[in-house]
Structure 1
Amino acid sequence: MSGLSRRGFLASVSALAAAWQLSPAALGTALAQPLAPGQALSTLQRTILQGPVAQGSYRTLVTGPGEPYIPRLDVLGRTANPDRARSRRSLLYLGHLSDMHVIDSQSPGRIEPMIVQDHSAWASAFHPQDPMTVHVLAAMVKALSDLRTSPLTGAPMAAAMVTGDSADMHSDLELRWYIDTLDGVPVTPNSGLADVYEGIQSWADATWAYRPEDPAGGDFGDYGFPRMPGLLERAIRGPVESPGLPAPWYAVYGNHDTLLLGTFGISSQFRTMAVGDRKALAWQALAGDVLGGYAATASPIQRLVDALDQRFGLSPGYRTVTPDARRRIFEQREFMAAHFVTPINPGPVGHGFTQANLDSGETWWQADLTPQVRVFGLDTCNQVAGPDGAVPDEQFRWLRTQLEQSRDKLCLVLSHHNSLTLENQALRPGATTVLHGAEEFVDLLLDFPNVVAWLNGHTHLNQILAHSRGKAGFWEITTASCIDFPQQQQVVELVDNRDGTMSIFTTVVDHASPIAASTGTSYTDLAGTSRELAANDWIENPFMRRGSPLDRNTELLLPAPFDLSTISDAALEAQQNAARARVLAR
């Protein structure tokens, strides 16, 4: 097989130059260059490891050696062709982000004091690095932008997948910050009073939290967390100017985009508190006013009682902060609608969600990333209670129908939950919905050999599982998060080995930031500080979340589900030229 003819190449250059308003001569010169592996930094060249103790038990971070790709044969079930590298060609190169947990740490709509009641049970309610989530996400976007060409084949990034938990506490402001950061729209990560940090980390009497001005007198200080004067002011100083993702990106719901803290239904008390001027200092106040309110009715009378309670300060254990209407709690359909407020580039408008989703309320979708690759975005989040999920029967049946109609394409499936967390059967009283768990879902995917990968998140760790039946199967790829150490995401590439097999390469990506915490003011400096703070989480072993070497930089082999030679070199070249032109235009 051969690529585009000279006439086809010139026609392609002319069309792409016109579409992206580029010089035809410059674009033609660029596209005429053969693909070459990208040289941007990833964990192939360098890893980040635990360093020496700085004080108490607090450790810094150091660089470690890079990690090469490790072949995995679990699905293929036989020895791989040793000469496959000589003939391979890229079918699709994409980014994978998950569990970004963008946080407005000053919002009254947070429940940080619950860690006093039980830090282990409520660990996700507060992290020392909460004020720097926008900076971490921007630094991760920069890393993926730097990796816009594959480190393996040089293929341009064609798309990026976002597998949920984007807005940490269901805030409209957090939702806007996450979308804008991925789109490359400047974000000032501050709310309430301009240029003043009003969150609990600036309160001297919140000794249960990490207070960077003076951490002494509490658990964080006792552990050895250092003084970092001015950190909070630097964190709200904006704008943060992310470069934006280099390719169209697609999103699905996570449990934090569905329920409060990804676990509880959202009460009228909490909605009122989120936009109000009273932020909790004591967990007893939260437990009584907010968590206790989940048993209360959401009737107009109850809402009036809640509003009066918040307005006139009838409950103790709070401090006064500046209210901000932008902190309102979004409804489920508004999550989808927010993805339509986005620039055309990188796009797509809706980021997977369509007008049909808005009209019907259905929260799942499908899209063709290329003529050869189709992706299905599912909503596995429980609407009632609990962090884990399941696949509702309506989606289950829809997916089976769509896969039946997609046997001539390579198929990817996206969801927030993974096969270890897909067993939540919570239903509202009287509901008759059937919820499918992991075993049924995996069996469904195994019915279709053209399903080659399932991308997901939720557990905040790097993990890769093989699922096989007979001589076929698929790979389940779970990426880590941007909030917990190691604050890593990944790039994924589908490759045709031209020997009856294909490979999926996964490359773990650290965000583009300094290794050591610093007093710098750039978003990359603050992202580096965030990572070091996250690495000192003493509630669990944060380095466990890196996964084993078999969960990081890998080559995942599997039988080709159909004759991949039906995908011509010319079609792939045209596809890659379009992606290269888009990258050049950005």
Structure 2
Amino acid sequence: MAHMSRRSFIAFSGALAASVGLPRSMVGSALAAPLAPADVPTTLRETIRQSTTGNRAYRTLLTAPGEPFIVREDLVINRPSPGRAARRRSLAYLGHTSDIHIQDTQSPARLEPVMEFSPTLMPGICRPQESMSLFVQAQMVQAFNDAASSPVTGAPMAAVVNTGDSSDQISNLETRWYIKVMDGVPVMADSGTAGVYEGVEVWPEATYAYHPDDPSGDMWGEYGFPEIPGLMEAIVNTEVTSPGMPAPWFTVFGNHDVLLNGFVGQDDSLRTLAIGHTKYWSFPSWVTDQFTGMATDPSPLQRGLDYLRQQFGVVGGFKRVGSDPERRLLQGQDFMSAHFENTGGGPGPVGHGFTQSNLDENTTFWTTDIGPNLRLFGLDTCNRLTGADGAVPKNQFDWLEAGLQECVAQDKLAIVLSHHNSLTLENTAESPFHPGEPLIHADEFIAMLVKYPNMIAWLNGHTHTNTIKAHPNADNTGGFWEITTASCIDYPQQQQVVDICDNRDGTMSIFAIVLDHASPAQWTNGDFSQVGIASLSRELASNDWTATPFALMGSDLDRNVELILPAPFDLEKISDADLDKEILKRKAVVLKNTKGAGA
């Protein structure tokens, strides 16, 4: 490195090699290579678009030219220096994932029968690609590995942040599947009866679901969805593997991690249904079973009758499936606790943002430093009572403001992470655990954030749409950028990487770059490999007529962008020598986590 003597470099790289357990020669060679923009697969290189157009026509996908950066100067008065590219240095390069929505589509607790009542009342209740979510997540983890070095500066990935909705149905099994894929531990996308798919996708009575074996009798066949015999059998019999994230990863709660389907609470009836062997396909039968007697008679006798009805099917419109205790619904601290379990792999850290203090004090928000110059604040904006949208409880609001004041005093950059974004911080349902606690909504929250110049970015998800908004401060001399990423479940099934750079001219650039998961744009008929199933999932998602898939891509201004903002303090206080050491540490960690592939 330019700011370290040869002797110091040899000693430092040797110590790093020992710390990550890799050969000194491999680590030394990788660390000695100068940083340069990495030619890695992102949408800067190529994009994915539909191959044809037409009403009620099924469309395949193909590759298209990449999208170059668009420079956004919304938060600066003076134009940035045109020579900044030659001077800039990366302060932190991050991965950002959100709305993974891992799904156990064989679970009896799913709300799929609502689709029979109305295919558009609750979009996303029975998507044609939902059973393939694990395959998509695994290939997205591969994409983060492929992009472990920045395409802008060559900097190694320092951390990956996950902004919620990791599971879909507050399921124990879904939560543990997602954690294992993030950690590089193999899983099977199967539950209940081993190796046999038991769900609405193979039951002809459920005409609202896509039936790959024969879609001619369902509503998806009317839109040209293809016949793909053997797909569901392949899904439950294919081991899903991933390399694990290339850098330490951190997470926050999403509404699907605390409420069933992201908007409704759970009761004894749902908890019993989840682990039992009765799965409904009929909406009238499901409604009758779930609500008969429960609202009017919560007595032990009535609950016993409800249990017998579920287990032995007094009403019709159901099928018997293999029961599975691992499908239990999460309660209390279960979601946080799952992140402390040793999966046997992964880059860490223990808790993935959550700490022992969170468990001891029953708090759900956290902070951590990424090196000496950047602090992350992980919020919990989810409502435990009802509703998909969120708010910021007053205790978190006050805690965050105190933390931002500390960042200003310590010359640290700050990034806020939450699931909900500025369009969805509007839930007014009062917490049953903290009655009377004020809830802070978007306008008040943003007004507080813009007071602190060190607050440079707010990363979030929830709407499944690539969206980037500038939030100027009161005198229009700065502010922060809000960066919302798309999801892994809905088209375009994209996530992003973010490179935070010092331009050394009194400005900063935040580069947001969109990633497609590592699978071909065009699915090859009959390809039931892990990569092939992920590719097919994207194609099916792009044809989901119950949603608006192409609107979720966002505009050109929401994808590959360079976001300019004033430097909040003199960034020359961050010495090149100290930054070089931090870069070397991050390189070594990436090498360890990619088993040398990141060299």
Q: What is the TM-score normalised by the length of structure 2?
A: 0.95
Match of 2:456 among 424, 447, 452: 452
Report how far residue 306 of structure 1 moved. 3.2
Report how far residue 308 of structure 1 moved. 2.3
Report how far residue 345 of structure 1 moved. 3.9
The 3 A distance-change label for structure 1 pair 554 and 297 is: farther
Q: Is the Cα contact below 8 Å between 1:267 and 1:298 reproduced in 2?
A: no
Counterparts of residues 189-228 of structure 1 (less than 5 Å): 189-228=189-228
When structure 1 is superposed on structure 2, of 568-577 and 129-138 the one drifting more is 568-577
Q: Distance in 1 between matches of 2:401 and 2:311?
A: 51
Q: Distance in 2 between matches of 1:371 and 1:293?
A: 58
Q: Is the Cα contact below 8 Å between 1:462 and 1:480 reproduced in 2?
A: yes
Counterparts of residues 437-448 of structure 1 (less than 5 Å): 437-448=441-452
2:504 aligned partner, one-letter code: R
Q: Is the Cα contact below 8 Å between 2:245 and 2:346 reproduced in 1?
A: no
Q: Which residue of 2 aligns with 1:543?
A: 550
Q: Is the Cα contact below 8 Å between 2:76 and 2:566 reproduced in 1?
A: yes
Report the aligned-residue RMSD: 1.8
Report how far residue 305 of structure 1 moved. 3.7
Q: Deviations over 1:92-141 (max 9, x none)?
A: 00100000000001110111110121221212211000110000000100
SS in 2 for 1:529: helix
SS in 2 for 1:135: helix
Q: Distance in 2 between matches of 1:510 and 1:173?
A: 26
Q: Distance in 2 between matches of 1:294 and 1:439?
A: 39
Q: Distance in 1 between matches of 2:9 and 2:233?
A: 53
The 3 A distance-change label for structure 1 pair 294 and 566 is: farther
Q: Which residue of 1 aligns with 2:400?
A: 399
Report how far residue 284 of structure 1 moved. 1.4
The 3 A distance-change label for structure 1 pair 497 and 277 is: same
Q: Is the Cα contact below 8 Å between 2:394 and 2:440 reproduced in 1?
A: yes
Q: Which residue of 1 aligns with 2:259?
A: 259
Q: Which residue of 2 aligns with 1:350?
A: 351
Q: Is the Cα contact below 8 Å between 1:240 and 1:523 reproduced in 2?
A: yes
Q: Distance in 1 between matches of 2:180 and 2:89?
A: 34
Q: Is the Cα contact below 8 Å between 1:132 and 1:526 reproduced in 2?
A: yes
1:459 aligned partner, one-letter code: T
Match of 1:480 among 480, 483, 486: 486
Counterparts of residues 297-312 of structure 1 (less than 5 Å): 303-312=303-312
The 3 A distance-change label for structure 1 pair 449 and 305 is: farther
Tell me if 1:555 matches 2:562. Answer: yes
Q: Distance in 2 between matches of 1:440 and 1:8?
A: 50
Q: Deviations over 1:473-507 (max 9, x none)?
A: 00000000011000000000100000000000000
Q: Which residue of 2 aligns with 1:534?
A: 541
1:479 aligned partner, one-letter code: T
Q: Distance in 2 between matches of 1:326 and 1:361?
A: 24
Tell me if 1:409 matches 2:412. Answer: yes
Q: Deviations over 1:154-178 (max 9, x none)?
A: 1000100000001101110000000
SS in 2 for 1:290: helix
SS in 2 for 1:401: helix
Q: Is the Cα contact below 8 Å between 2:281 and 2:318 reproduced in 1?
A: yes
Unaligned 5+ segments in structure 2 are 594-599
Q: Which residue of 1 aligns with 2:590?
A: 583
1:410 aligned partner, one-letter code: L
Tell me if 1:88 matches 2:91. Answer: no
SS in 2 for 1:78: coil
Q: Distance in 1 between matches of 2:293 and 2:335?
A: 24
Q: Distance in 2 between matches of 1:424 and 1:536?
A: 31
Q: Which residue of 1 aligns with 2:422?
A: 419
2:23 aligned partner, one-letter code: S
Q: Distance in 1 between matches of 2:517 and 2:116?
A: 31
Q: Which residue of 2 aligns with 1:274?
A: 274
Give identity over the alignment, percent. Answer: 52
Match of 1:523 among 509, 525, 530: 530
Q: Is the Cα contact below 8 Å between 1:266 and 1:294 reproduced in 2?
A: no
1:497 aligned partner, one-letter code: N
Q: Which residue of 2 aligns with 1:21?
A: 21
Q: Distance in 1 between matches of 2:298 and 2:92?
A: 48
Q: What is the TM-score normalised by the length of structure 1?
A: 0.97
Q: Deviations over 1:405-451 (max 9, x none)?
A: 12110000000000000011012579211000000110111111101
Q: Which residue of 1 aligns with 2:45?
A: 45
Q: Distance in 2 between matches of 1:7 and 1:344?
A: 34
SS in 1 for 2:510: strand
Q: Is the Cα contact below 8 Å between 1:251 and 1:351 reproduced in 2?
A: yes
Tell me if 1:494 matches 2:496. Answer: no
SS in 2 for 1:570: helix
Q: Which residue of 1 aligns with 2:576?
A: 569
Q: Distance in 1 between matches of 2:568 and 2:292?
A: 53
When structure 1 is superposed on structure 2, of 571-580 and 554-563 the one drifting more is 571-580
Unaligned 5+ segments in structure 1 are none
Q: Distance in 1 between matches of 2:293 and 2:431?
A: 17
When structure 1 is superposed on structure 2, of 157-166 and 54-63 the one drifting more is 54-63
Q: Which residue of 2 aligns with 1:461?
A: 465
Counterparts of residues 73-472 of structure 1 (less than 5 Å): 73-290=73-290, 295=295, 303-342=303-342, 343=344, 345-407=346-408, 408-427=411-430, 431-469=435-473, 470=475, 471-472=477-478
